[in-house]
Structure 1
Amino acid sequence: MSTPLEPSASPEQIVFSDGTTADLVRKDDGWVIQIDGVAQSHVGDPAQPPKLASIRWMLAALGDRAPRRAAHLGGALLALPRAVAHRWPESAQTVVELEPALVELTRSRFPLPTGITMETAEARSWLEANPGSEHDAIVIDIFVGNRIPPAFTSLECMDAARAALSAQGRLVLNSVAGPDLLFTRRELATLRTLFEHVAMIVQGSALAGARFGNATLIASDSPIDAAPIRSAIAGDPSMGALVTDIDPIIDGAAPIRDADELWSPVPNLPDASAALKLLEQARQAVETLRPPRT
């Protein structure tokens, strides 16, 4: 989940296996997949910081040590795996993506960097089939219609992830912080039930309930070194901050279980359509004032 983007000319439509669609949009700095006007993934120059704040936060959450083996549940354009490959080219990464259209798009249009392999599989089933696989990092970044589905919010899912991690391994979740924080509190409670150490990157305004935003959740049985994470997000325009004292946020919230069938909340994003329409009208007006080419 991220913020709405400005319109771009002639987006390419991607049709998913369930009949829903997304737009592949060409930007000056790369390509973006958008669903309902919301950016889900971006691929550009790997030497530049990732375009989306959520990707920068997850990259920071991995810390400063190269993961020997990493698994990414959810693929899209592989923004985070590409950033990891650029930073730590020696890491072996597996990307698990259910949607064949995204797998084909990535393989045909955006070649995989060295060290990255893709599997077309249901991510929860893949996770449960890989206990003892000793991954140093597992990233869960799965959204359906801008919401996290129940299979990736529960204690049972996080327990399967823990079983696939090495003793020093780290679980990173791309999540959300809604205005009432109930979902976020329950996710943190779920992680706290299983892991010795839990932290979160979030904007202060989202944590205070003033707006809907992203939250990157971090969990490990090994201590989480805060210094490299804080250093990585220092000065970031997103204004994200690392929170390590999460017990006051949990405040007695109950862990999420599969039986709860709990989706993340519907994003409460500002409607920027009117402003975007005015920007497009202004662009067209400027074009009409330019002298004809000779």
Structure 2
Amino acid sequence: MNDLDEDPIPVTRTVDSGTARLLPDIDRERAWLLTIDGSPQSYVDLDDPRHLEFEYARRVGHLLDLVAEPGAPLRLLHLGAGALTLPRYAAATRPGSRQHVVDLDAALLELVEEHLPLPAGSGITMAAGDARAALEAAAPAGADVLISDVYAGSQVPAHLTTLPYARAADRALRPGGVYAANLADAAPLRFLACQLATFGAVFRWLALVAEPAVLRGRRFGNIVLLASQHEMPLRELARRCAGDPFPARVVHGPRLERLAGQARPVDDGDPVPSPEPPDGAFSIG
């Protein structure tokens, strides 16, 4: 019998990346928080996959709503699984979408599949593997949206920050496709500057979505990087993000150039992971 058939109780399991816990939300009947080593990774409401609890996920959800006509199916490649929050969202809002999810942590995928099962006919497939290797092996021009939400512990792995990686992302996207990455940084925003320089060397259009305090370097936090070879629906995205419980700003154009400053694109010879968050930035008790 699945744990979800009874009163929900926390689930703890050692996975490849640490100690994973599934914690039930007492305010939502079949909603769960996934943590790894105490750091929140994903939030899923099995009864309402359209509900996006985490702010960065909500911002990517707005993008998914806007990249095509409402309800039109998409092809999506997800690097990083968590509890499959965004794949579930896309399956619910765009029925018929074909989605592939890659995560290095095979034991985590098994845990999620066992305790937070996908609905029948979701169109979501999963595989264990390295994100960059999977991206480089992906069919050219096969994805409408490529979402990267990969963390090794609390940092974006260095090999997912370089020019060859950005070029592989470009090859995997269809014309008009969009790359979206969940990054994290704080003052002086050097990691973000290097990512702007790196993806700006490959993609014609870039944008950032984050809370103003994060973009000003006042605190550590998530920043969504968007990249495409075609213009993106940034005006409507900005309107939706401004109306969220924790409003975010969409930044593009000259301000991005100021944020990038004199940063140079990162090559495979000198990659660096994203900075370590300060103690307590994302952890829970």
How big is the shift at 1:35?
2.6
- Is the contact made by 1:63 and 1:229 (CA closer than 8 Å) also made in structure 2? no
Report Cα offsets for 1:7-53 as digits up to 9, x if no partner: xx9743221236x2122211123111113432111111435430111
Residue 278 of structure 2: aligned partner: 268
How big is the shift at 1:234?
2.8
- Is the contact made by 1:185 and 1:249 (CA closer than 8 Å) also made in structure 2? yes
- In structure 2, do the counterparts of structure 1 residues 230 and 49 end up closer, same or farther at CA, with 3 Å as the change threshold? farther
How big is the shift at 1:271?
6.7
Matched, 1:235 2:233: no
- Is the contact made by 2:185 and 2:191 (CA closer than 8 Å) also made in structure 1? yes
2:263 alignment partner AA: A
What TM-score does the superposition give when structure 1 sets the normalisation length? 0.84
Q: Within 5 Å, give how 1:1-294 maps onto structure 2.
A: 11-17=10-16, 20-28=18-26, 29=28, 30-44=31-45, 45-46=47-48, 48-64=50-66, 65=68, 66=72, 68-113=74-119, 114-245=122-253, 246-268=256-278, 270=280
- In structure 2, do the counterparts of structure 1 residues 95 and 47 end up closer, same or farther at CA, with 3 Å as the change threshold? closer
How big is the shift at 1:227?
2.4
What TM-score does the superposition give when structure 2 sets the normalisation length? 0.87
- Is the contact made by 2:203 and 2:227 (CA closer than 8 Å) also made in structure 1? yes
2:56 alignment partner AA: S
Rounded to whole Å, the distance in 1 between the matches of 2:100 and 2:186 is 30
Rounded to whole Å, the distance in 1 between the matches of 2:149 and 2:206 is 17
Gaps of 5+ in 2: 1-7
Gaps of 5+ in 1: 1-8, 278-294
Rounded to whole Å, the distance in 1 between the matches of 2:95 and 2:80 is 20
How many aligned positions are there?
A: 266
- Is the contact made by 1:70 and 1:91 (CA closer than 8 Å) also made in structure 2? yes
Larger Rg: 1
Rounded to whole Å, the distance in 1 between the matches of 2:126 and 2:282 is 35
1:161 alignment partner AA: A
- In structure 2, do the counterparts of structure 1 residues 84 and 269 end up closer, same or farther at CA, with 3 Å as the change threshold? farther
How big is the shift at 1:217?
0.3
RMSD: 2.1
- In structure 2, do the counterparts of structure 1 residues 234 and 182 end up closer, same or farther at CA, with 3 Å as the change threshold? same
Rounded to whole Å, the distance in 2 between the matches of 1:23 and 1:97 is 17
Report Cα offsets for 1:86-120 as digits up to 9, x if no partner: 11112111111221112111222222241111122
